[in-house]
A and B are shown apart, each in its own frame.
Chain A
Amino acid sequence: MKLPDMLIPGPLKKPQKPGGGDGAGPVERLKETPADLVGWVDERTGGASFLTGMLYRKVPKGTNWFYTLGSATLFAFTVQAVTGVFLAMFYTPSTTQAYGSIVHLTNDVFLGEFVRGMHKWGASVMIILIWLHMARTFVFGAYKYPRELNWVIGVVLLILTMVMGFTGYLLPFDQRSFWATVVGVNITGTGPLVGPYLADFLRGGAEFEQTTLARFYAIHMLLVPGLIIALIGAHLYLVVKLGTTAPPWLEPKRTKATVKEERV
């Protein structure tokens, strides 16, 4: 699926192969840079070479639909971020008003039920996509050298997404979310030595109180999303830098070196 060439701004067109072009150097290219907005920005940032390098990077033969699961997860996260911002405009993180504000935004606000539904179901979709993405990486052996660090970052991202699920579950503040949080915090408390203090930290005290809801809200919408965005950046950087792996059913390319190895 390719965009028609005329729709792509000049600086973002696929770069010429070195040696195969018309011999235009950087100076000639600069002269050719169109006086449009994209060209104006590119002249001052050099962002086009970064973008073209990322968008036109080489991918191995055999790349298939399974390789889109990571992008799908990123899309699910974007949906959560956008819908979350709009939900926050109507939500009140107060133990006496939280449930009322949720009822209001679900029943009275225009499209409120739809936006809340996207956020609620999108959360499950994101978790499912993460597991599928992880399974693809595992089954294709894409976690092996030199991509181990990216696997580790991915696992941290999975844990952070679980934290999002746990903290977000409390926010509607109905019976189900209240008792689920009570049980979840108490499970944390059963860890020996540090458990009781961790539970106190989560609740902001020995009992469930206003601080608990405010804390969960702050963790859910400020702390963890920031960490997730930063780690997604590192994850993508490593994907672009290291490239993707070919599917395991493709034979490795035979070169003089590998043939020699086979003989030994």
Chain B
Amino acid sequence: MADPADKSNGPAGAGGLPSPDPPGYFEGESMNRRKALTVAGQAVGGIAGAVIVLPAVGFAVAPIFDRPEERWESVGPVSRFTGDTYKPVVFTLVEGIGEAGKTTAYVRRGDPGTFSSESAGTYIALSTRCAHLGCPVRFVSAAGNFICPCHGGVYDFEGKVIGGPPVRPLDRFQTRVRDGQVQLGPRYSVTSQLDPVRYRDPGEFTGGIWNILYPPRPSTPPAP
């Protein structure tokens, strides 16, 4: 405002007369009633919108933070499994969704004679979920290898990658023996040295910097 004595707060009205100041106007005023009500109206609208949108979004993403209960399932008596070959067992991974919730695992007894890291009396259960993109692998006993039909991944007897695109060895399931029955529990992933890590989806590397680039998910149980 060029002239400090001029208190009009707008263009001159009709007839060249300055329009009168509204009641309560003072020099340097930054908020008037119209502005205050506009801001208040937008704030109320924003709060009303957030009250609807935030719970809906939370509802949609909540399953990310939900960890299902650990379940263990008996897959056969200890006498059924040997140390020299795998036996396929079918068990339920997710309950209540029929065949889609079942998966196959290959189970054998630990063999300390061949693999120094294994101890007698334990059981090894390999998941059939390919570590490339999750297709089901098959154990070919003649070759002693696991082969994936989708993109040609090949794993050796211990589940280590020996060919194709998979990025890590086959996942495993925790095992225990109860009343002479072998039981399978939660899944876990392994590094290329077969060290257990928190289980992750296929296609994700394990070990080293990959443990940071693929952070742990709240929906999975910790590694054994």
Neighbouring A residues of B134 by C-beta, 8 Å: 179, 182-183, 186
On whether the beta carbons of A210 and B96 are closer than 8 Å, the reply is yes
On whether the beta carbons of B214 and A207 are closer than 8 Å, the reply is no
Chain B contacts with A in 131-145, Cβ cutoff 8 A: 133-135
Whole-angstrom CA separation of A211 from B68 in the bound complex: 13
Neighbouring A residues of B66 by C-beta, 8 Å: 205
| Interface residue A208 (Cβ < 8 Å from any Cβ of B) | yes
| Interface residue A178 (Cβ < 8 Å from any Cβ of B) | yes
On whether the beta carbons of B219 and A200 are closer than 8 Å, the reply is yes
The minimal Cβ–Cβ distance linking A71 to chain B, given in whole angstroms, is: 35
The prevalent SS among residues of A at the interface is helix
Contacts between the two chains (Cβ within 8 Å), count: 83
Given that A178-B100, A200-B219, A206-B220 are known contacts, is A190 also in contact with B150, CB under 8 Å in the complex? no
Q: Which residue of the partner chain B has the closest CB to A205?
A: B63
Whole-angstrom CA separation of A185 from B60 in the bound complex: 17
Interface bin, chain B: 20 to 34
Neighbouring B residues of A207 by C-beta, 8 Å: 68, 93-94, 101
Neighbouring A residues of B61 by C-beta, 8 Å: 201
Whole-angstrom CA separation of A192 from B217 in the bound complex: 13
| Interface residue A196 (Cβ < 8 Å from any Cβ of B) | yes
On whether the beta carbons of B202 and A205 are closer than 8 Å, the reply is no
On whether the beta carbons of A200 and B217 are closer than 8 Å, the reply is yes
On whether the beta carbons of A196 and B94 are closer than 8 Å, the reply is no
On whether the beta carbons of B204 and A200 are closer than 8 Å, the reply is no
Neighbouring B residues of A211 by C-beta, 8 Å: 63
Q: Which residue of the partner chain B has the closest CB to A198?
A: B64
Neighbouring B residues of A259 by C-beta, 8 Å: none
On whether the beta carbons of A200 and B135 are closer than 8 Å, the reply is no
| Interface residue A10 (Cβ < 8 Å from any Cβ of B) | no
Neighbouring A residues of B219 by C-beta, 8 Å: 200, 205-206
Whole-angstrom CA separation of A196 from B189 in the bound complex: 14
| Interface residue B109 (Cβ < 8 Å from any Cβ of A) | no
Chain B contacts with A in 98-153, Cβ cutoff 8 A: 98, 100-101, 133-135, 150
Neighbouring A residues of B68 by C-beta, 8 Å: 205-207
| Interface residue B163 (Cβ < 8 Å from any Cβ of A) | no
Interface 1/0 per residue, A174-200 and B, CB below 8 Å: 000011001101110110110111011
Interface 1/0 per residue, A206-236 and B, CB below 8 Å: 1111110000000000000000000000000
Residue in B93, B100, B214 whose CB lies within 8 Å of A195: B214
The minimal Cβ–Cβ distance linking B45 to chain A, given in whole angstroms, is: 20
Neighbouring B residues of A197 by C-beta, 8 Å: 64, 217
On whether the beta carbons of A186 and B98 are closer than 8 Å, the reply is no
Residue in B64, B94, B204 whose CB lies within 8 Å of A190: B204
On whether the beta carbons of B204 and A208 are closer than 8 Å, the reply is no
Neighbouring B residues of A247 by C-beta, 8 Å: none
Whole-angstrom CA separation of A205 from B221 in the bound complex: 12
Neighbouring B residues of A173 by C-beta, 8 Å: 100
Whole-angstrom CA separation of A192 from B214 in the bound complex: 6
Neighbouring B residues of A201 by C-beta, 8 Å: 60-61, 63-64
| Interface residue B201 (Cβ < 8 Å from any Cβ of A) | yes
Residue in A96, A183, A196 whose CB lies within 8 Å of B214: A196
30 contacts between A and B (CB under 8 A): A96-B97, A179-B134, A182-B133, A183-B134, A183-B150, A186-B133, A186-B202, A186-B203, A189-B200, A189-B201, A190-B201, A190-B203, A192-B214, A193-B213, A193-B214, A193-B215, A196-B214, A196-B215, A200-B217, A200-B219, A201-B61, A203-B63, A205-B219, A206-B68, A206-B199, A206-B217, A207-B93, A209-B94, A210-B96, A210-B97
Known: A197-B64, A204-B63, A206-B68; 9 extra A-B contacts, CB below 8 A, are: A95-B100, A190-B203, A193-B213, A193-B215, A200-B64, A200-B217, A201-B64, A206-B217, A211-B63
